[in-house]
Amino acid sequence: VFAYNVHHVAIAVHDLDAAVTRHIALFGGEPLYTEEVESQGVTEAMLPMGGSHIQLLAPLGPDTPVGRFLSKRGEGIHHVAYAVADIDAAIAHLLDQGVEMIDVKPRAGGGGHKVAFVHPRAFAGTLVELVEVAE
């Protein structure tokens, strides 16, 4: 039920193409994919880095979670995603710990993965995403 890897660190940006170009110029790499994720109101680019990834996120509109984040706080780190082998078991474990989940059921995330968000109140004001990936 526990996380076994940092799947990605997500950074919210205004202009995805510009951010991808800049990230590649500064740090290298190539995006694995760029995908519109309707359920999260974002377009995301996933850049592999070692066994993990950097996820660049741009909002589909101002009235989306990432759109509101950008207007309130500006660009920056939005969430950290932990890889779990069994997302249903991980959610059940967290609920059992009395944790408030944003998603009590997994939803469709980028790259065909099942994902669920844990409320920032659960740990250090940090938005944590669970991503189901075979261990």
55 catalytic residue (yes or no): yes
To the query of whether residue 79 is one of the catalytic residues in this protein, the response is yes
Catalytic residue among 23, 40, 129, 132: 129
- Which tokens go with 14? 């205004």
Q: Which helix (H) or strand (E) holds 24?
A: helix 16-27
Query: Which of 23, 53, 79, 132 is flagged as catalytic?
Result: 79
Least distance (Å) between residue 57 CB and Co ion: 7
Give the footprint of Co ion on residues 77-106 (CB under 5 A). Answer: 81
From 5-13, 31-39, 61-69, 92-100, give the range in contact with Co ion by CB under 5 A: 5-13
Positions of E strands within 39-93: 42-49, 52-59, 76-84
Q: Judged by CB under 5 A, does residue 129 bind Co ion? A: yes
| Candidate list 7, 23, 40, 44, residue with the active-site label | 44
| DSSP 8-state code for residue 3 | -
CA distance 21 to 81: 23
78 is annotated as an active-site residue = no
**Binding to Co ion (CB under 5 A): which residues in 37-76?**
55
The CA distance from 112 to 133, in Å, is: 10
Among candidate residues 7, 23, 40, 55, the one labeled active-site is 55
Q: Which residue(s) pair with 33 in the sheet?
A: 46
- The position carrying tokens 């740990």 is 123
CB nearer to Co ion: give 6 or 85: 6
Q: Name the residues that contact Co ion, by CB under 5 A.
A: 10, 55, 81, 129
